[in-house]
Structure 1
Amino acid sequence: MIITPAEPQDVSKLLAFREEAAAWLRGLGSDQWSRPYPADKLLATIEAGTVFMLRDGHTTAGTITLTPEAEEGLWTDEELGEPSMFINKLTVAREYAGQDLGGRLLDWAGDRAYRAGARWIRLDAWTTNKKLQEYYVEHGFTYIRTVRDGTAVNGGPRVSGWLAQRVARPTDHGFTDRTPAPARLRRAA
């Protein structure tokens, strides 16, 4: 499988991925991703070069967003002073479930973050999705805290404030990486 940067024409596929994941999560009793994600915000993250697609031939098997910017209101100033990259919107197509592609995408993100000079890869997960939180802990993340106060970037109440981190490190994720070399992180002032 090959990992590449997402392109503007991937917006509809990414929105469909999110809808598929939301429907699956609803079936498990979770309200995660129940609000539609704005296509214009998704396009902006693609154009910023932070969205990546895992492709299996002509089929998209998964996606992950990896950015040097943290969502406002989640991490302390001290934490933001540490070189870190932030994982968002990790999604694997249901037809590829059970192959640990999500775990390998996390490894890929940790490797990319390491090459960018990050010490940590960090994420925020849905506060009520205990299975997802367990998944991240099983993949080497350490729980930091849960932030419930404040408003999410999209204007709704904060629902994704379970914070965790893992050391960024080189890994053999097994994907053919066709992404450009990551930009080096700037040091906090």
Structure 2
Amino acid sequence: MKITTATPADLQRLLDFRMEAASWISARGSDQWSRPYPADRLLATIEAGTVFMLRDGKRTAATITLTSEAEEGLWSDEELSEPSMFVNKLTVSRDYAGRNLGGELLDWSGDRAYRAGAKWLRLDAWTTNARLQRYYLDQGFQHVGTVLEGGAINGGPRVSGWLAQRSTRPTEPNFTDETPSPQPFRT
């Protein structure tokens, strides 16, 4: 397997990934990702070079987004003063479930963040998805807080405000990394 930077040609596959994941999550009783993700927003992240695809030959096994930009309203000014990178949209194809590809992508992200000079690998997870939160805790993340207000449509509760982080660290991925070297973190 190899990891590459996503291209605009991957847009439909990424949208399909999200629909597949939403259906699987819904069958387990969560409303996470129940709204379609706007294609234009996803295309913008692809064009920014922050979306990565784990490929198995011509098949896509998983995807992850890794950015130095925090979602507005989640992290405190003090937290944002620390060099950090943020994981979003980690998704593994159901055909590849149970192989720890999500854990490997998190380790790869932590290594990439480390090489960029970041101290923390951070993420926000669905506030009501206890299984997902447990997954991240099992991957070595520590829960640092939950943001329940602001940022949601019509002023309702934030749906993805469970915050976690772990220290960045060097690792060797179990796949070939064909991505460009990460840009150094700017303080």
Q: TM-score range by the shorter chain?
A: over 0.9
Give how far 1:173 is off: 2.1
Task: Give the equivalent residue in structure 2 for 1:124.
Answer: 124
Structure 1: 5+ residue runs without aligned partners?
none
Task: Give the equivalent residue in structure 2 for 1:110.
Answer: 110
Task: Give the equivalent residue in structure 2 for 1:86.
Answer: 86
Task: Give the equivalent residue in structure 1 for 2:28.
Answer: 28
Give how far 1:157 is off: 5.2
SS, match of residue 158 in structure 1: coil
- Any conservation in 1 of the 2:149–2:156 contact (CA below 8 Å)? no
Moved more, 169-178 or 119-128: 169-178
SS, match of residue 181 in structure 1: coil
State yes or no: 1:12 paired with 2:12: yes
State yes or no: 1:38 paired with 2:38: yes
Task: Give the equivalent residue in structure 2 for 1:67.
Answer: 67
Deviations 1:128-167 (A, max 9, x none): 10000000000000000110110149x9852000000000
Task: Give the equivalent residue in structure 2 for 1:147.
Answer: 147
Alpha-carbon RMSD across the aligned residues, in angstroms, is 1.3
Moved more, 157-166 or 45-54: 157-166
User: What percentage of residue pairs aligned between the two structures are identical?
Assistant: 70
- Any conservation in 1 of the 2:147–2:162 contact (CA below 8 Å)? yes
How many Å separate the matches in 2 of 1:158 and 1:3?
32
How many Å separate the matches in 2 of 1:179 and 1:41?
22
How many Å separate the matches in 2 of 1:118 and 1:152?
28
TM-score by length of 2: 0.97
Task: Give the paired residue count.
Answer: 186
State yes or no: 1:135 paired with 2:135: yes
Structure 2: 5+ residue runs without aligned partners?
none
- What letter is aligned with 1:43? L
How many Å separate the matches in 1 of 2:13 and 2:146?
31
Give how far 1:175 is off: 1.4
How many Å separate the matches in 1 of 2:149 and 2:100?
33
How many Å separate the matches in 2 of 1:43 and 1:114?
26
Task: Give the equivalent residue in structure 2 for 1:77.
Answer: 77
- What letter is aligned with 1:114? Y
- What letter is aligned with 2:88? N
SS, match of residue 85 in structure 2: strand
How many Å separate the matches in 2 of 1:174 and 1:21?
24
SS, match of residue 85 in structure 1: strand
TM-score by length of 1: 0.96
Task: Give the equivalent residue in structure 2 for 1:182.
Answer: 182
How many Å separate the matches in 1 of 2:91 and 2:13?
12
Give how far 1:89 is off: 0.1
How many Å separate the matches in 2 of 1:164 and 1:121?
9
- What letter is aligned with 2:135? Y
Task: Give the equivalent residue in structure 1 for 2:98.
Answer: 98
- Any conservation in 1 of the 2:110–2:168 contact (CA below 8 Å)? yes
